[in-house]
Amino acid sequence: MVFRCVTSLHGKDGLTSQERYPYLRQLLKFDAQQFFHVICTCADAKIFTTECRLQRLLDILCTICVETSNERTLSQLVQCVSHLAIHVRLLPQGPLLEDVINTLLLTPNLSENSEMSVVELFRSMPDLSLQRPLQLAQRNPIKTKICTYILITERRFIELIKCFFENAIAAREVFSLISQILQLNLSPIEFKEVNEYLKENIMALTLLSPKETSLLVIDHFPSYLSSIRPIPGFSIDDSLKHFPLLRESFGIRKDRNEHFLTGDDELDEELFTITFHGFVHFSKSEADKKDLDEILTEFLQYWLPFGSKTDRCLNIASSAELTETCVLLLESRGFHERAFHLLKEKLIDETSKGEFDEEKLLSSIDRCVQFSVSHRDEAQNGGWMSSLFEHVITLNQNVNNNTNLGIRSRLLSITHKLLESDTTLAYQLLSALYEAPFFAQAKLEEHTDLLKSILMACSYEESILTSIHHCQNEEIGESLFKLSKLGTKRSTRVAGGGCVRCKGIIDKAAYVFHCGHVMHMECDLNGTRTCQCENPGVSTYPSTPRSSSHSNSKRIVKRDIFSKWDDTTLDCSPRRKN
């Protein structure tokens, strides 16, 4: 009775309403989600399993939902049908289900949940025809989830990417789609087709998002960067269209703490030059150029080996009057003096104008001082600080009192730096200061600190020199005393008998040892200069005795006592006394 009442065509006695299935319409209007939930939960109940009631109910619900065209109800019905198709293996009639799907896809602004409901239905019913749903899903606005599922299922990858390209809203999702496609198990032919199509449309992808395109190129198409290499005979300007892609690519490598772009140093250097030139080329307004020097300096800090290898980046920066960038490139190549003169020229240009920015002026002075301190030896040999001091001290005549305070503090700083490097400049510093009106005509208390610093530096140097002379005298005196003691030291009595090695007389240069022994220098074969008694392991000469230059030296002669004996028999018998 309940099922019959709910599914009645015109209500009780056919007089309740003129519309069909009034009770089902009321249930769907009241809470369609709970009603479909009851159907899914009780699908195996006796009330539904007898007389094909569940099949009839689904057909009726499909008819009602198509007539009402309510997106939410249609989506919930699709979810219910998907559940029944999986667990009960029961479906509405084919034409009715297709009408439900087509009606849902005709909704102008279909929600993502509704799209996913249709996708789940397609997955649970692989035999459904997808041609008409695909046509409806490709209409503007495109249903990305449905198009993605259908075209990936049919392996139509290029067509899928084109669908996203041609739709302004879906174009923002093309990068996630490409990543999804590249992670699929593509056949060699499919992979080649997708790669060729994407490489042909890198510029279009760059217009959508340079950073996402750079990630795609670095991770999947690194060989594409080699095609950006400037063609011989063509200007570098022809490659500037790739500037957004290259800028983001270098940024990604930096974020990954990698010091290469492609792995080919020569190619990376050329691509870096294009990127460097692009920064300058696309900063057209003066406001952009003010920040460009700082941007390029920061950019070069990480990629300095590529930027400083040749003069190309330096020439580009010089033509654009980017002082800090030029200084960084010159410093990296060892041209420190040129870099300092460039900083000083910038300072002179700023002060030569009728009106100048106080903050920029003081900043330029500080930059010159900082650079000189960083290269102290070259600054001292080249007189950088002295020339800077001479220029700064003349600025007082052209600046106001407020700026004058800043210049005085810089003068004090420069004076300290000069005195630290060479205190012999104290006289020249004082002379230069007294020639300046602001110093010579001022009260003593106004420049007390500056004068004290000069005098203290001179006193400090005099004290250091005095201490050094005192140390020298002490060290020399101690050495002379030791030498005199060695000269008057009593030696051990020299033992007689000649050379301790060869036993010959001492007639040539010889060593006298502390033990009293004497040895010819030529007898010291090993060059040890040690006596035989100190080194008993060394034996004396076994060879012939050493020749002597003295012929009158006494020699021991051995007598032969048997030389004059007669050749007679020797009688050794005992004799008796008579």
Q: Would you say 138 and 163 are in contact if contact means Cβ atoms under 8 Å apart?
A: yes
End-to-end, the C-alpha distance of the chain in Å comes to 187
Cis amide linkage into residue 141, ω under 30° from 0: yes
d(CA 288, CA 286): 5
Q: Where do we find the tokens 């991770």?
A: 219
Q: Would you say 225 and 249 are in contact if contact means Cβ atoms under 8 Å apart?
A: yes
Q: Would you say 238 and 275 are in contact if contact means Cβ atoms under 8 Å apart?
A: no
- Coil/strand/helix, residue 146: helix
Crossing angle for the helix pair 112-124 and 71-87, to the nearest 10 degrees: 30
Residues with pLDDT less than 70, the chain: 1-18, 21-24, 48-49, 51, 90-91, 94, 232-235, 284-290, 353-356, 396-405, 408, 412, 416, 419-428, 436-439, 457-463, 486-493, 535-578
Closest CA to 77 of 47, 50, 97: 97
Closest CA to 410 of 354, 362, 481: 362
pLDDT of residue 553: 42
Domain map of the chain by residue range? 1-154, 201-310, 402-483, 490-537
**Is residue 512 within a helix (H) or strand (E), and if so which, with residue range?**
strand 510-512
Write the DSSP symbol of residue 499: B
Q: Would you say 393 and 385 are in contact if contact means Cβ atoms under 8 Å apart?
A: no
Q: Which residues pair with 520 in a beta bridge?
A: 510
